[in-house]
Amino acid sequence: MLWWLLALIAAFLDAVYFGIIKKYINKVDVFTLASGIFLTTGVIMFCVSAVKGFPSLQPGFLLALLITSLCNLVANYFVFNGLKTADMSLCVPMLSFTPLFQIFTSSVLMGESPPLIGLLGIILIVLGSYILNTKKGSKLFDPLRSILRNRGVLLFFFTAVIWSVSTNFDKMVVLRSDWVFGLSLFYLFLGISFLIMGTIAKKHPIRGWGLHFGKLLFPALVISVSGIFINLALTMQIVPFVYSIKRLSVVFSVLYGTLLLREKGIARRLPGALIMLSGVLLILLG
C-alpha cells in the first residue's frame, strides 16, 4: 500500500478522534478520558505486538521512546484542554504548522529534507490551514492574533511545535523496533502518566472508567489503527511528507465540526481546504 494512502487514512481517523474528544470532553474529566483511552490503546497495541512477535530492539530505542513519550504527555494535555475551551475547527488547523517546523527539525534530527516541489507543497498546506482559521471580514494577520487571544488555539499551536520535534523520535522508535511494539509502550506510558496525574488531582480516573467505558473504547480503537498506519508510512517516506498528508485531518475536522457539531463558517473555509489539497498534490508529484 502506498505511504500517502496510509497517511491519508490516518488523517481521517485523526479527525474522527478529535471529534470524539470534543464531544466528550465537557462530559468526562480530562484525566479519566485521557488515561482510559491511552491505556486501552496501549493494551490493544501490546496484544497485537505479542501476536505478531516482539521485535529485537536496536540501540537508542529507549532514549527515543522516552523523549517522544515526555513530549507527547505535554502535547496531549494541551490537546484535551484546548478542545475543552475552543471550537475544533479553529484548534485543529494549528496542527498544520507541524510540517513547516519539521522542515527544520527533521533536517537536524533525521537528515531528511524535502525536494523543492515538496517544500512548496508543505508551504501550501500551511497556507491553506492559515486561511481555514480566518473569519468573515478578518484581516490578513487576524488568525495569528487569534492564537494569542484564544487559549485553546494557543495550546494547539504549542502542540504543533512539540509534535514537530517528537515525530522525528517517533520514527526513530519505529526504525529501532517495529511499527507496533514501540507504539504500545508509548501509549501505556501516556495512560499511566495521566492516571497518576488524575489520582494526584483527586479526579478518581479509575472510578470513571467503569462509568464511561464506551466513550473510551471507540477512540482507543481509532487511534490504534491510525498509529499503526502512520508508523507504516514512516518506514516508507520522510517525516515532513508523511505528516503533511496526515495534516489533512484539518480538512476532515472542519467538515466534522461543521456537519456534526454545528460549528459555523464552512463556506469561507473551503478555499483554504482547496489550497491544502493543491499542496498535497505537489508533494505527491515530488
Predicted pLDDT at 133: 63
- Tell me, rounded to whole angstroms, the distance of Cα 24 from its chain centroid: 18
What are the extents of the domains in the chain? Answer: 3-285
- Kindly calculate the radius of gyration of the chain based on its CA atoms and give it in whole angstroms: 18
Has residue 6 got a pLDDT over 80?
yes
- The answer to whether the beta carbons of residues 14 and 226 sit under 8 Å apart is yes
What percentage of the chain exceeds 70 in pLDDT?
88
Angle at 205 between CA 200 and CA 209, to 5 degrees: 170
> What confidence tens digit (pLDDT) does each residue in 242-267 have?
998 988 887 787 776 666 656 666 66
> Which cell numbers in the block locate residue 223?
487511534
- Quick one: DSSP state of residue 112? -
> Which cell numbers in the block locate residue 68?
517522544
What percentage of the chain exceeds 90 in pLDDT?
53
- The answer to whether the beta carbons of residues 93 and 254 sit under 8 Å apart is yes
Q: Find cell 483554504 and name the residue.
A: 272
Has residue 1 got a pLDDT over 60?
no
Considering only CA atoms, which of 52, 151, 168 is closest in space to residue 111?
A: 168
Regarding pTM above 0.75, the answer is yes
> What confidence tens digit (pLDDT) does each residue in 87-108 have?
776 787 788 788 889 999 999 9
Has residue 138 got a pLDDT over 80?
no
